[in-house]
């Protein structure tokens, strides 16, 4: 952070710097992924990500954003009148103060979910938060970043998601679930990379192999074709 940025922030902020987060967008939509799919949800998208999944659909969140007070974020979330809040990114856990945001959202009584890459430690995430944790398959280009010890911090209400771009990714995912008995820890979601693997092919592989996983399509892409703010 440059000193000039710091000056601008301190001139406009009502909170100490320790309570600000860099935010790309806050929007009100229908949850398009994971167990809370279909619920009206407010999304808080944090800026920045240390990974570069080749198929990432939110590259616009890697840079930029605005520094916002956590209480100001809470006020904007409240203005939408939704029971569900999804904290996502970029990689939300790359900003340490995300943990405080999650805690305050839970204290305010929301059903809170966190979309996270699986590359950063989830141990200190508030236990009330439903973690939706990716395991990155090889075609993402980031599978070496999977922090396997995160599996030990999953609670029964959490979910593991594997986004699949090819038959090879599918076989990797199938083996990972079996080897780490992930389905015995929490719900497992398999989702096709939008536009890369035929959704029907993935569905048929899951049926054929009798896998204990839940097939998932990104509902917001069907509804809004990935338009901004949805």
Ligand X SMILES: C[S@@+](CC[C@H](N)C(=O)[O-])C[C@H]1O[C@@H](n2cnc3c(N)ncnc32)[C@H](O)[C@@H]1O
Q: Which residues are annotated as a binding site for Mg(2+)?
A: 58
Does 134 sit near ligand X (CB under 6 A)? yes
Does 143 sit near ligand X (CB under 6 A)? no
- % helix / strand / coil in the chain, to the nearest 5? 35, 25, 40
Does 101 sit near ligand X (CB under 6 A)? no
What is the dihedral sign for C-alpha 164, 169, 175, 176? negative
**Contacts of residue 91, Cβ cutoff 8 Å, sequence gap at least 6:** 46, 48, 49, 50, 51, 116, 117, 119, 120
Going by the annotation, the residues of the binding site for [4Fe-4S] cluster are: 49, 53, 56
Contact set for ligand X, span 49-78 (CB under 6 A): 49, 55-58
Tell me the β-bridge partners of 114. Answer: 87, 131
Contact set for ligand 2KA, span 188-217 (CB under 6 A): none
From 85, 69, 87, select the one nearest 77 (Cα to Cα).
85
Contact set for ligand 2KA, span 24-43 (CB under 6 A): 29-33, 43
Contact set for ligand SF4, span 32-61 (CB under 6 A): 49, 51-53, 56, 58
Candidates 13-21, 23-31, 67-75, 99-107; binding stretch for ligand 2KA (CB under 6 A):
23-31
Ramachandran bin of 190, using left for φ above 0, alpha for ψ from -120 to 50, beta for the remaining angles: beta
**Interface with ligand SF4 by CB under 6 A: which residues?**
49, 51-53, 56, 58, 89-91, 117
């Amino acid at each position: 952070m440059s000193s000039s940025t710091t000056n601008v922030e301190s001139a406009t902020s009502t909170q100490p710097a320790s309570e600000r987060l860099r935010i790309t967008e806050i929007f009100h939509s229908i949850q398009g992924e994971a167990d809370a799919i279909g619920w009206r949800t407010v999304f808080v998208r944090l800026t920045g990500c240390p990974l570069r999944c080749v198929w990432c659909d939110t590259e616009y969140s890697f840079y930029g954003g605005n520094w916002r007070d956590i209480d100001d974020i809470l006020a904007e979330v409240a203005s939408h009148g939704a029971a569900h809040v999804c904290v996502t990114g970029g990689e939300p856990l790359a900003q340490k103060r995300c943990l405080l945001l999650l805690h305050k959202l839970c204290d305010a009584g929301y059903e809170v979910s966190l979309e996270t890459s699986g590359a950063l430690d989830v141990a200190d995430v508030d236990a009330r938060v439903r973690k939706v944790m990716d395991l990155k398959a090889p075609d993402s280009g980031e599978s070496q970043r999977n922090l396997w010890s995160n599996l030990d911090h999953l609670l029964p209400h959490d979910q593991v998601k594997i986004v699949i771009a090819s038959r090879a990714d599918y076989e990797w995912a199938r083996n990972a679930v079996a080897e780490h008995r992930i389905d015995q820890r929490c719900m497992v979601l398999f989702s096709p990379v939008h536009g890369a693997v035929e959704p029907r092919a993935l569905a048929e592989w899951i049926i054929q192999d009798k896998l204990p996983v839940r097939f998932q399509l990104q509902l917001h892409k069907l509804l809004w074709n990935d338009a901004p703010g949805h």
